[in-house]
Each structure stands twice: as C-alpha cells, then as structure tokens.
C-alpha cells in the first residue's frame, strides 16, 4: 500500500508523544501537588490527540486489508478523521472555554494556532473524503496526519506551559 512506511513512522511518533505525556503526568503527580483544571484538561488533550493520531495511522491498513479499493481507503479514512475532528471540537470547546476564563496568557496564546491546525486538517480531510481537489489521495491524507501531529505537538507544549504555570502559582 502506498505510504505504508510513512504511516508506520507516524505511528511511532504518536506512541512517543503518548509516552512523553505519561512521563509528564507521572512526574507532575509525584511532586505531591494536585494539578489544576487546566493542566488536567491539557493532559487529556495530549493523550487523546496522540492516540487518535495513532488510530488514524493504522486505519488505512485495516481498510486496505479488508479489500477496499485504494481510493476508498483514503476517502473513508479522511471522512473518519473529519468526523473525529468535528466531535473533538464539540467536546473540548466547553472545557477550553471554562478554563480560558481562569488562565492568563500562558496557554491562551496557543489557542489560535491550535484552531488553525484543527480547521486546516478538517478542511483537507473533508475535501479528500468528498474527492474535491484531492481525489481521495494518500498525499491529502498524509497532510491531515501531519497536521494532526502538529496538533499533538501543540497540545504537548500547552501541557508543559500549563504545568509550569500551575507550579509557579503554587496550586495544590
């Protein structure tokens, strides 16, 4: 299947992100302090985005080995990713809105870039799924996965900033 090596490499990066997040979570809890709501939400977002990227890296293999035509593999994979992104935004928006009122500049400055990444990935995956402009190709799906890795990276950065801000405030 076209791009199988790249998909497997993205799987490995996704697993590494999830592992780093676990380390941050364990170290943060070992210090004896409780994380504030923002750090907890950021931890959840990082784990979710890492595992979702892993899932989306493996999904085309499942569809391909079930015998679907390659165009259908990329189109269906893009459609599933687009639906996930819409659900993701609907679920996280209330949590981010709630914590956004309680934080300073620390992680709020990341939100516009995160929104651009999500909307870009949603647009590319929707167009690829519909066969508009991309014709259900691996390249468009790969672009979505790379944007998803960017999202995971931004969530990791905001997690680290949130944990450091929480420690600086002395939140218990």
What are the tens digits of pLDDT across the range 101-141? 555 555 667 778 888 999 999 999 999 999 999 889 999 99
pTM beyond 0.75: the answer is: yes
Residue 13 has pLDDT above 90, yes or no: yes
Residue 151 · residue 117 · CB < 8 Å: yes
What are the backbone angles phi and psi of residue 131, rounded to the nearest 5°?
A: 75, 25
Alpha helical stretches, state H, the chain: 4-30, 37-65, 70-100, 105-108, 111-130, 138-169
Mean pLDDT of 32-51: 78
Residue 89 · residue 45 · CB < 8 Å: no
Q: Which of 153, 161, 149 is nearest to 107 (CA)?
A: 161
Domain boundaries, the chain: 4-169
pLDDT category of residue 93 using cuts at 50, 70 and 90:
confident
């Amino acid at each position: 299947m076209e791009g199988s090596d790249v998909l497997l490499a993205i799987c490995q990066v996704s697993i590494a992100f999830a592992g780093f997040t676990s380390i941050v979570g364990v170290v943060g809890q070992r210090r004896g302090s409780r994380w504030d709501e923002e750090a907890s939400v950021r931890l959840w977002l990082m784990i979710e985005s890492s595992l979702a990227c892993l899932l989306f890296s493996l999904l085309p293999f499942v569809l391909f080995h079930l015998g679907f035509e390659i165009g259908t593999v990329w189109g269906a994979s893009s459609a599933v990713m687009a639906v996930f992104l819409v659900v993701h935004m609907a679920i996280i928006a209330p949590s981010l809105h709630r914590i956004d009122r309680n934080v300073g500049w620390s992680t709020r400055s990341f939100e516009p870039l995160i929104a651009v990444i999500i909307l870009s990935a949603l647009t590319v995956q929707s167009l690829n799924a519909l066969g508009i402009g991309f014709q259900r190709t691996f390249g468009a799906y790969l672009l979505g996965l790379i944007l998803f890795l960017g999202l995971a990276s931004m969530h990791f950065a905001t997690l680290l900033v949130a944990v450091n801000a929480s420690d600086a405030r002395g939140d218990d």
